[in-house]
Amino acid sequence: MSFDVIFNQFMSGIARGALLFLVASGLSLTFGVLRVLNFAHGSLYMLGAFISYSLWKYLLIPVVGFYVAAVLAALIMGGVGILIEFFLLRRLYSRGWPEQLLATYAIVLIITDIVKWCWGGEFLSIPRPKPFAGAVFLFGFPFPSYNFFIIILGLALVIFLWWLVYKTRLGDIIRAAAHDREMVSALGIPIPWLFTWIFMLGSMIAGLSGAASAPYGAIALGMDIDIIVECFAVVVIGGMGSLPGTLLGSFIVGQVYSFGIMYKPELALAFIFIVMAVVLIIRPWGIFGKPER
């Protein structure tokens, strides 16, 4: 195996890792603050992809149509997130985690059928948008330039989240709330408002990443569970609720997937799980996570 093949595969892995980071970071953020594991995060991602498809198709905006559709899809998903948090999750914070998990599972089922009802079961796709439509040659191998768009988007999100969590007042509150919710509440910060805000942000990220995934692969039913299982692998490897952990986990899972698929396509997912199992034996709470209390 020559260097150029390895490099090409490595770059594909980076792109896949970037997409995984886009989705997993929202999952990790909501879990970190709300302590609710959102099964429906993958469904919000899927819904974002389908909505961006329809917006792209029916708005028919020239040149920047895809980008406008992606931003609008993210905003719509933010609204959906507010509704879910306000009407469902808010009533369940005082209950046990099994009920919270099941409620988000119920949302998965409902969104699946909404998508089936509105868009049917076919595969849809959006052609790659303009400056990233072609391919670039890396050491003589064609590499879709859209992958660079995913990587840039992933990096932008890393920087944005880092800035948000570590450099703003809201970030101070987020970190404090993840550490001790009651203390934050006692300081006069309205926790319900914070939770709605964070869930909306997580849903927006899910919607945006769904839209970004549309030209990357196909849009189809079942993309929700495919991505959420890989995201679970990411957060279990990296550590739940940790930003650097999610970044590292995405990188690892992306690379393992990319090289696994080159070696044996049927077993790509199995390789990811082997890595996950190894991490679980050595550090059950993930590389950057904290031991359970």
Partner 1 sequence: MEQHRVEKQASWLKWKWWLILFLIAFFIAPFILTEFYLTILCEALVMSLLALSFNLLFGYMGQLSFGQAAFYGLGGYTVALLVTKLHFNFWLSMIAGVLVAGLIGLIIGYFCVRLRGIYFSILTLAFGQLLFFIIYKWHNFTGGDDGIQGVFPPEYLKSPTAYYYFILIVFLLSAFVLWRLVHSPFGQIMKGMRENSVRTEFLGIHIARYQLITFVIAAALAGLAGAIWVPFYRSVAPFYLMWIKSGEPVMAAILGGPSTFYGPILGMFIMTFFHAWVLAFTHFWPVIMGTLILIVIFLLPGGILGFAQEKLRGRRSKGT
Instruction: Name the residues that contact partner 1, by CB under 8 A.
Output: 37, 88, 91-92, 95, 97-99, 101-103, 105-110, 112-114, 116-117, 225, 229, 232-233, 236, 240, 265-267, 269-270, 273, 276-277, 280-281, 284, 292
Q: Which is nearer to partner 1, 206 or 276 (CB)?
A: 276
At 137, which helix (H) or strand (E)? Answer: strand 135-138
Query: What does the alpha-carbon distance between residue 239 and residue 122 come to, in Å, rounded to a whole number?
Result: 36
Could you tell me the smallest distance in angstroms from the CB atom of residue 227 to partner 1? Answer: 12
Residue with smaller CB distance to partner 1, 124 or 268: 268
Q: 192 vs 284, which CB is nearer to partner 1?
A: 284
Q: How would you label 177-196 residue by residue, b for 16+ Cβ within 10 Å and e otherwise? A: bbeebeebeeeeeebeebbb
- 219 and 73 Cβ atoms separated by less than 8 Å: no
Contact 39, 104 (CB under 8 A): yes
CB 74, min distance to partner 1, A: 24
Tokens standing for residue 214: 């549309």
Closer CB to partner 1, residue 105 or residue 259? 105
* Shortest CB 232 distance to partner 1, Å: 5
Identify which of residues 61 and 106 has a Cβ nearer to partner 1 in the complex.
Answer: 106
Q: Bridge-partner residues for 144, per DSSP?
A: 135
> How many Å is the Cα radius of gyration of the chain?
19
β pairing state of 141-144 and 135-138: antiparallel
Rounded least distance, CB 83 to partner 1, Å: 13
User: CB 203 → partner 1: shortest distance, Å?
Assistant: 18
